[in-house]
Structure 1
Amino acid sequence: MMLLFAEIGLDAARFAAMAPELRTEAVLLAMERGKSATEVARAVGSTASEIRQIASATYLFQLSTDRTIPADVEEERPKHTGGRPSGTGTAFKILDLLTEAGDNGLAANSESLAKTLSVSERQVQRAMNRLLGEDFIVRLKAPSGKSPAVWTITADGRSVRDEVAARQGR
């Protein structure tokens, strides 16, 4: 299987040696490039159901306090002004939705949020990880069965959202 502009070869041994979160990213990249779960499975010596499971895995990362963003990924990240969401990025839009949802929270997964916000699931996952890392949101209820997780905004998240909304005159 070739990834990233068809320049990186990935075989079963390399795939097996990868950290779980990197395997998920590799599968997502391959699928974004049009590969089916069956094609990915064949390339890495796995089954299609295992590949679908790997693709749907989510990981929480401790975000670095270093706010510098390399120029080549700047456009994919939520826009910042002084360390705060700018009001145009996915992170602010998520805070906005959670504010509207109120104290009972919002039942949502990355797919439903991506559709609602008209962005990619990866953008939603990055924004959610960032918001979780900064304690701007919390999960009230873990996902179970077909029920998605329930999320709510924290007091810090609400103050950031209100500050940004005020800057925008909303």
Structure 2
Amino acid sequence: MTIRHARRTDHTGIAEINTLAFGKPDEAALIQRLRDDGDVMFELVAEVDGVLEGHILFSRLWADNGRFYAALAPMAVRPALQTRGIGSALVRSSLDNAREFGAHGVLVLGHTGYYPKFGFLAETAANVRSPYSGSPAFMALEIDPGAFAEPVMVAYPNAFAG
């Protein structure tokens, strides 16, 4: 398996993976809106034997404390290959990339049985005000110690409202 930054030529395959993984085109449409609005921080893909099998996207969040945060959404793996470690490899690689991009912390609205194994916790997001606050699926991971220690309000890109 190879994990690399997505290229424009990957966009069709990325849309297919997300549509198959989520069973509907909503996440593929979200990805395109984020791209169109210039809100993508980075995208990674996983290739197995030269075929795109997974995708993860990070977008910028706006915070009232002036610090830089990122949103992980969406992450998808082709259904036939789920539970084989592709998603985990994408999350781990993407967190390294988020550090390199200067994010202080990462937020995710995701599966409560999956993301905690990477350190995402709802408790860490307790001081974060956002449209998703209070949901057990709204979790945070500090990249810099104390990134979520003080109250912070974050705004998601407009694409998430669509």
Give the TM-score category using the shorter length: under 0.3
Structure number with greater Rg is 1
Q: Which structure's residues are more often strand, by fraction?
A: 2
Normalised by the size of structure 2, how large is the TM-score?
A: 0.26
Q: Which structure's residues are more often helix, by fraction?
A: 1
Normalised by the size of structure 1, how large is the TM-score?
A: 0.25
Highest RCO, 1 vs 2 (Cα 8 Å, sep ≥ 6)? 2
